[in-house]
Amino acid sequence: MAQNKKFVEEITSMEDDFAQWYTDVVKKAELIAYSSVKGCMIIKPAGYAIWENIQRELDKRFKQTGVENVYMPMFIPESLLQKEKDHVEGFAPEVAWVTHGGLEPLQERMCVRPTSETLFCDFYANEIQSHRDLPKLYNQWCSVVRWEKTTRPFLRSREFLWQEGHTAHATVEEAKERTEQMLNVYADFCEEVLAMPVIRGQKSEKEKFAGAEATYTIEALMHDGKALQSGTSHNFGDGFAKAFGIQYSNKENKLEYVHQTSWGMTTRLIGAIIMVHGDDSGLVLPPRIAPVQTVIIPIQQNKEGVLDKAAEVKNVLSNIRVKVDDSDKSPGWKFSEQEMRGIPTRIEIGPKDIEKNQCVIVRRDTREKIIVSLDEVDVKLEEILTVMQKDMFDRAKAHVEEHTYDASDYEEFKRIVEEKPGFVKAMWCKDQACEDKIKEDTGATSRCMPFRQEQLSDKCVCCGKPAKTLVYWGKAY
Amino acid sequence: MAQNKKFVEEITSMEDDFAQWYTDVVKKAELIAYSSVKGCMIIKPAGYAIWENIQRELDKRFKQTGVENVYMPMFIPESLLQKEKDHVEGFAPEVAWVTHGGLEPLQERMCVRPTSETLFCDFYANEIQSHRDLPKLYNQWCSVVRWEKTTRPFLRSREFLWQEGHTAHATVEEAKERTEQMLNVYADFCEEVLAMPVIRGQKSEKEKFAGAEATYTIEALMHDGKALQSGTSHNFGDGFAKAFGIQYSNKENKLEYVHQTSWGMTTRLIGAIIMVHGDDSGLVLPPRIAPVQTVIIPIQQNKEGVLDKAAEVKNVLSNIRVKVDDSDKSPGWKFSEQEMRGIPTRIEIGPKDIEKNQCVIVRRDTREKIIVSLDEVDVKLEEILTVMQKDMFDRAKAHVEEHTYDASDYEEFKRIVEEKPGFVKAMWCKDQACEDKIKEDTGATSRCMPFRQEQLSDKCVCCGKPAKTLVYWGKAY
């Protein structure tokens, strides 16, 4: 157990230094490595396998709503990026520019896509002629580049992986419906698969996406009480369509502009999983997203029959993502590794267990030890994983509730932000001056105007003028 | 049927102009669209769905051999690219250079990866310390950029999608074995899934990958008799390891260099499928790779019960990727579309068929019509798809055999290359002068030194000196 202790000691405690704890976990759980390219990370097998599961689950949900995948070029000519005024202003300061192809300078420089609205619009302008060509429901899985000054693994890096959906519709209503539909797909995915409760709402004018009419968001609360924007869905109205000339002839043969949406989720979600569920022993993965759901750890594996029995148990667990750790490390070391990597359960099995036709299942989240007969290990383990998934969601949900506060006046608001990390619910007049003042005074930003509105008061928490909306405020990643 | 004729007439015939036929098919089958980014294409849903199937099939095979997926940055700092001499010479002339991040010039320019050997080596130099860290069997799915002067959809474009495997091993033998293993994975995939026979062999010194000790290749023959390099696997020996200082301590605690491999397949395979199997009505997809394996086309769909029956048949075909085309186009138009898109089979079902409790299955490749009872449509269709897959392979195999010629002297060699498109088998002395002369005289290049050697003669077909190997020669894409 000395080894075990040493292994665990290498992580900083969450309470001591949350940021350092996070960095320790992404490295010790072998999710990433730093690269020679400043601000870009290497996603290692344990990290990438989580992304593959996220992709598979989301992609299935997208396709169920009629979405098809495509692939667009990674470069955007400067003139194309400039076609929509707000959009270029939002992105131009943080793009990477390609100026040379081979040995020659380019006639026009191109940026590496920070997002692909302009490419999709250019494409749609050619593809869409008639109402019969609508809707277009396209998505792509790719990497994008944003030249951030300060970076953190998964949360903010110069290159990250994501999906970006881009749709075009005949009517205002259809576009609005799709924007909401995809936000709900995201929210359901986070809650059902990642066991991560989210607040669904709309961004303020100041926080919305460059070029959008409305941006919807899901906001999650991390263990340290900071908010993380976890997915966004944008309604563009016909703004891009007018800039790019995307028109269709309707049933009366009259030309109309299309209405568009876009929506994206990124590898940032892996950061969210770490910061919602992790503990001082490392990562804790919800069973539904875990690349390995249980690891079988043989005890006294050199004794006759132990490894055979471990292999037998593995074969019985055909519905579960399972691995046997038969390396020559000590069981204690293997336990610590399973904990650090966040594998939801481990199965301990040794000569005494085999004698009794049983094994011990240990839950990663509660460390509860459950003795199970080998005759029903498959059924029992599935039950345990299902319960664990639900318990993890419930605990995260309780954490959000315990860390969500109402503020009715500005003194109270400031005191809460200073003393109690979490969400603060407070009314707002919708004037950006108040939003700016709150940020300057407290560091908190408006996370969203929740779809589920409440009337906490009839006055703006900041200026006291008539309130127009409830807002979730908070410090954010 | 007038409509039908018009639709089909829009494709150039293969015999008239194969290059134009190819371009027509990629556009009319809606595989790609051209973009505003010169030399880069947009992969549309019908094209991307083929790539998704290729990915799924290959990824499964990789993982069965122990490979894990990772993701590396898309940028390579110039100093990193320059670390291996042959490698930088091979790639520097055709990379895209990023010189600015946001509004500021970079201290060191970076290229967009044309391939990631240098990034993986830099990573491995940090990750590998002990023999316990070996082997490393990593792969990534991503896009790469090579600044080509002339481009063609799927075959040669400035950006393309691929996978690149990069492995590190303790011994020479293990690296050699892995290089061969992955080439065989590629070859089996092409033959079993794409119904595309390939020649397995080794590239000449001149044609091998920049920085490799040996490059293995699979070469396929297109319908027009030109060769297409369809996948390569490289053995690097310890060349990169020495350039990047990738060392491990062996069991005797002595430092040794690792031995490395890399191997890749690209969206070029979609071009291969088109040019091996297509015909004058468009694309023909092998059933195992087809995103849609059968389309149900209702006849007189407005008559009562027809659409219901079509839906019923769809539900029965649960093991098959199936769609119903109930759009308001004519059946003839739908038939042409199914043919153009290369959907392997269609099921025609109308009131008369329903009366007789039957439907008509039509094969895309042979156009054979098979009347099938509705009680056994699932079993029969699976049989038909299996037979079709095998027939497509056999026809492609016969095409390769009919277009492979032996040449024993140079006059014969030149005459064959001029008159008979295909592979020419001929002996070679291994002197690059002969390889260069053959290319200059005939336009044919050495495609590979096949693993299955034959002794056609004891003299080099070009210079008459003693022959060292058999070579497949041919004009190539």
- pLDDT for B332 equals 95
Domain that holds residue B344: 294-387
* pLDDT tier at B82, thresholds 50, 70, 90: very high
CATH of the domain at B337: 3.40.50.800
What does the alpha-carbon distance between residue A42 and residue A31 come to, in Å, rounded to a whole number? 9
**3-state secondary structure (DSSP) of residue A394:** helix
How near does any CA of chain A get to the CA of B141, in Å?
10
pLDDT digits (tens, 9 = 90+) for B143-161: 999 999 899 999 999 999 9
Tell me how far CA of residue B103 lies from CA of A95, B99, B100, B344, in angstroms.
Answer: 8, 10, 7, 52
Contact (Cβ atoms closer than 8 angstroms) between residue B120 and residue A120: no
A205 and A85 in a common domain:
yes
- pLDDT for A9 equals 58
How many residues would you count in chain B? 477
Residues in A closer than 8 angstroms to B119, CB to CB, are 35-37
How near does any CA of chain A get to the CA of B183, in Å?
23
Residues in A closer than 8 angstroms to B153, CB to CB, are none
Q: Which of A44, A51, A75, A123 to mutate to test the interface with B (most CBs of B within 10 A)?
A: A75
Q: What residues pair up with A6 in beta bridges, in sequence order?
A: none
pLDDT digits (tens, 9 = 90+) for A243-295: 999 999 999 999 999 999 999 999 999 999 999 999 999 999 999 999 999 99
How near does any CA of chain A get to the CA of B80, in Å?
8
Contact (Cβ atoms closer than 8 angstroms) between residue B446 and residue B207: yes
A410 and A369 in a common domain:
no
Q: What are phi and psi of A433, to 5 degrees?
A: -55, -40
How near does any CA of chain B get to the CA of A190, in Å?
23
B214 and B109 in a common domain:
yes
Nearest to A73 among B37, B99, B110 (CB): B37
pLDDT digits (tens, 9 = 90+) for A50-83: 999 999 999 999 999 999 999 999 999 999 999 9
DSSP A172-222: HHHHHHHHHHHHHHHHHHHHHTS----EEEE--TTTS-TT-SEEEEEEEE-
- pLDDT for B4 equals 47
Closest by alpha carbon to A27, among A48, A5, A43, A50? A43
Please say if the pLDDT value at position B103 is more than 90.
no
Q: Quick check: A49 contacting B, CB < 8 Å? A: yes
B408 and B379 in a common domain:
no
A265 and A146 in a common domain:
yes
- pLDDT for A6 equals 52
A251 and A170 in a common domain:
yes
- pLDDT for B3 equals 46
Q: What are phi and psi of A422, to 5 degrees?
A: 150, -165
The first and second tokens of residue B9, run together, are: 């007439």
Q: Which of A74, A145, A341 to mutate to test the interface with B (most CBs of B within 10 A)?
A: A74
Contact (Cβ atoms closer than 8 angstroms) between residue A195 and residue A180: no
- Portion of chain B with pLDDT greater than 70, in percent: 98
Output Rg (C-alpha) for chain B, integer angstroms: 25
Asked if B33 lies within 8 A of A127 by C-beta distance, the reply is yes
CB atoms within 10 A of CB A177: 14
What does the alpha-carbon distance between residue B58 and residue B185 come to, in Å, rounded to a whole number? 8
Give every CB contact of residue A9 below 8 A, 6+ residues apart in sequence.
Answer: none
- pLDDT for A3 equals 45
- Record the pTM: 0.96
Of A277, A311, A346, the residue at which a domain comes to its end is A277
Tell me how far CA of residue A40 lies from CA of A146, A178, B123, B125, B329, in angstroms.
Answer: 10, 33, 13, 17, 50
Which residue in A has a C-alpha nearest to residue B71's C-alpha?
A43
Contact (Cβ atoms closer than 8 angstroms) between residue A80 and residue B52: no
pLDDT digits (tens, 9 = 90+) for A86-138: 888 888 889 999 999 988 999 999 999 999 999 999 999 999 999 999 999 99
The verdict on residue B2 lying in a domain is no
Contact (Cβ atoms closer than 8 angstroms) between residue B51 and residue B265: no
Q: How would you classify the pairing of strands A227-237 and A259-266?
A: antiparallel
- Number of CB pairs < 8 Å for A and B? 145
Closest by alpha carbon to B179, among B252, B237, B117, B227? B237
Asked if B74 lies within 8 A of A101 by C-beta distance, the reply is no
Which residue in A has a C-alpha nearest to residue B67's C-alpha?
A45
Return residues 261-320 of A near B (CB < 8 Å).
none
The B345-349 sheet, strands edge to edge: B322-324, B294-298, B345-349, B358-363, B369-373
* pLDDT tier at A4, thresholds 50, 70, 90: very low
The first and second tokens of residue A306, run together, are: 């132990």
The verdict on residue A158 lying in a domain is yes
What does the alpha-carbon distance between residue A76 and residue A55 come to, in Å, rounded to a whole number? 25
Asked if B102 lies within 8 A of A95 by C-beta distance, the reply is yes
Q: Quick check: A63 contacting B, CB < 8 Å? A: no
Please say if the pLDDT value at position A2 is more than 60.
no
- pLDDT for B444 equals 98
Q: Quick check: A141 contacting B, CB < 8 Å? A: no
* pLDDT tier at B186, thresholds 50, 70, 90: very high
The verdict on residue B106 lying in a domain is yes
The verdict on residue A7 lying in a domain is no
Which residue in B has a C-alpha nearest to residue A52's C-alpha?
B69
Q: Quick check: B162 contacting A, CB < 8 Å? A: no
Closest by alpha carbon to A442, among A471, A423, A425, A418? A418
Asked if B70 lies within 8 A of A143 by C-beta distance, the reply is no
Q: What is the mean pLDDT of residues B186-200?
A: 98
Asked if A69 lies within 8 A of B49 by C-beta distance, the reply is yes
pLDDT digits (tens, 9 = 90+) for A118-128: 999 999 999 99
Nearest to B71 among A48, A74, A123 (CB): A48
The verdict on residue B63 lying in a domain is yes
CATH of the domain at B444: 3.30.110.30
Tell me how far CA of residue B209 lies from CA of A152, A376, B274, in angstroms.
Answer: 36, 54, 26
Nearest to A43 among B43, B71, B145 (CB): B71
How near does any CA of chain B get to the CA of A142, in Å?
8
Q: Quick check: B69 contacting A, CB < 8 Å? A: yes
Q: Which of A27, A37, A126 to mutate to test the interface with B (most CBs of B within 10 A)?
A: A37
Q: Quick check: B100 contacting A, CB < 8 Å? A: yes
The verdict on residue A11 lying in a domain is no
Residue with tokens 């895209």: B96
Please say if the pLDDT value at position A176 is more than 80.
yes
- Portion of chain A with pLDDT greater than 70, in percent: 98
The first and second tokens of residue B62, run together, are: 């990789």
Contact (Cβ atoms closer than 8 angstroms) between residue A187 and residue A451: no
B211 and B271 in a common domain:
yes
Of A229, A248, A277, the residue at which a domain comes to its end is A277
Asked if B72 lies within 8 A of A102 by C-beta distance, the reply is no
- pLDDT for B1 equals 39
A424 and A376 in a common domain:
no
B432 and B358 in a common domain:
no
Residue with tokens 């099938």: B372
Q: Quick check: A337 contacting B, CB < 8 Å? A: no
Residue with tokens 């999709």: A120
Element (H, E) at A88: helix A85-91
Closest by alpha carbon to B203, among B446, B457, B461? B446
The A358-363 sheet, strands edge to edge: A322-324, A294-298, A345-349, A358-363, A369-373
CA dihedral of residues A303, A309, A310, A312 (deg, nearest 10): 160
Element (H, E) at A445: strand A445-450
CB atoms within 10 A of CB B371: 12
B405-433: burial string, b at 16+ Cβ within 10 Å, e else: bbbeebeebbebbeeebbbbbbbbbbeee
**3-state secondary structure (DSSP) of residue B20:** helix
State the angle between helix axes of B306-316 and B377-402 in degrees (0 to 180), rounded to the nearest 10.
Answer: 70
Residues in B closer than 8 angstroms to A72, CB to CB, are 35, 42
Asked if B77 lies within 8 A of A145 by C-beta distance, the reply is no
How near does any CA of chain B get to the CA of A313, in Å?
21
Asked if B68 lies within 8 A of A48 by C-beta distance, the reply is yes
Asked if B70 lies within 8 A of A96 by C-beta distance, the reply is no
B225 and B148 in a common domain:
yes
CATH of the domain at B201: 3.30.930.10
Q: Quick check: A123 contacting B, CB < 8 Å? A: yes
Half-sphere exposure of A282 (CA within 13 A, CB side): 23
Q: Quick check: B168 contacting A, CB < 8 Å? A: no
The span from the first CA to the last CA of chain B, in angstroms, equals 37
Total count of domains within chain B: 3
Contact (Cβ atoms closer than 8 angstroms) between residue B331 and residue B312: no
- Portion of chain A with pLDDT greater than 90, in percent: 94
Q: What residues pair up with B462 in beta bridges, in sequence order?
A: none
The verdict on residue B333 lying in a domain is yes
Asked if B96 lies within 8 A of A101 by C-beta distance, the reply is yes
The first and second tokens of residue B469, run together, are: 């190997």
Q: Quick check: B105 contacting A, CB < 8 Å? A: no
pLDDT digits (tens, 9 = 90+) for B422-469: 999 999 999 999 999 999 999 999 999 999 999 999 999 999 999 999
A213 and A303 in a common domain:
no
CB atoms within 10 A of CB B110: 27
DSSP B281-337: TB----TTT-SSSEEEEESSTTSTTHHHHHHHHHHH-TTS-EEE--SSS-HHHHHHH
A351 and A213 in a common domain:
no
How near does any CA of chain B get to the CA of A154, in Å?
12
Closest by alpha carbon to B413, among B362, B449, B457? B457
pLDDT digits (tens, 9 = 90+) for B232-286: 999 999 999 999 999 999 999 999 999 999 999 999 999 999 999 999 999 999 9
- The gap from C-alpha B195 to its chain's centroid, in whole angstroms, comes to 12
The verdict on residue B459 lying in a domain is yes
Of A334, A356, A384, the residue at which a domain comes to its end is A384
DSSP A306-351: HHHHHHHHHHH-TTS-EEE--SSS-HHHHHHHHHHHT-SEEEEE-H
What does the alpha-carbon distance between residue A372 and residue A357 come to, in Å, rounded to a whole number? 9
* pLDDT tier at A8, thresholds 50, 70, 90: low
Q: Quick check: B154 contacting A, CB < 8 Å? A: no
Element (H, E) at B261: strand B259-266
Q: What is the mean pLDDT of residues A335-358?
A: 97
